Amino acid sequence: MEGLKRYWPLLLIAAMILGALFWWRAEQAKERRAEEELAQAQGIVRVLSQTFSNRAALKVGEINGTLDVTTVDPGAVPFLRSSQKATVPYSVGYTLDLRDLGADDYRWDPAARTLTIRVPLVAAEAPNIDEANRAVAGTSGLFVTRGASANLARRASQLATAKAGEVAEEPANLARAQANAEKVVADLARAPLETAGLGPVTVRVVTPAAGVRDGERWDVSRSIEQVLADRQR
């Protein structure tokens, strides 16, 4: 018993040394994991920046149909007034500009292997009016001159362009185009990430308004860009 008491300080010191060693190894493991996450984050930003840098007008959808329009040419004098009804085919494409995506638009959750990308809203292109297939349903007027006929056709095109633009901006059409844009971006991102060696990755795409739900990113309060900046200090 006396011998144990004599060596007790040495045993205590040894225990403290072992405890410090285990703590140091645990900290080293945490640091290695942090470095791996950092490398993954840097790889994601690099790969996707290359993928999206030239995507100025990524086509993500289109609507098309026909519009019935009625146009009027007043004529030089009242009795030369004429009108025309026509059916005009149209199409409107939707595009997504990804050139300005930066590190702040990515959230990476290494545990769930989930990448969230914030993209802008889609934009409707200028309507395309198919003049070649415009169908005239009827023309009325005492005397329709060649000039009046040309004016009626031009006004029909202008009216159809305006109406097609309104249709393209309808919330339901914009929502469908945005949903398709999110799918297109996810598909574009997934392939290069897997090719870069990150393995199977779940990709979520959201708009600025949708935000990112807690627990689905690698750092809830900070973006990849902020984390990279902090770790490089």
Listed range (20-24, 90-94, 103-107) with the worst mean pLDDT? 20-24
pTM of the model: 0.69
Mean pLDDT (the chain) is 76
Contacts of 173 (CB under 8 A, 6+ apart): 63, 167
SS3 state at 107: strand
Per-residue pLDDT, averaged over 22-48, amounts to 62
Q: Which residues pair with 88 in a beta bridge?
A: 67
Q: Compute CA distances 96 → 183, 185, 186, 229, whole Å.
A: 12, 9, 13, 28
Half-sphere CA count of 172, side-chain side, radius 13 A: 2
Listed range (32-36, 67-71, 142-146) with the worst mean pLDDT? 32-36
Please report the pLDDT score of residue 214 as a whole number: 43
Closest listed residue to residue 108, CA positions, set 190, 194, 216, 186: 216
Give pLDDT tens digits for 176-210.
Answer: 999 999 999 998 888 777 776 666 778 889 887 66
Which amino acid does the sequence have at 205?
V
Name the pLDDT band for 61 (thresholds 50, 70, 90).
very high
Listed range (6-10, 62-66, 120-124) with the worst mean pLDDT? 6-10
Please report the pLDDT score of residue 17 as a whole number: 74
Report which secondary-structure segment, H or E, holds 60: strand 58-73
SS3 state at 13: helix
Closest listed residue to residue 185, CA positions, set 193, 173, 195: 193
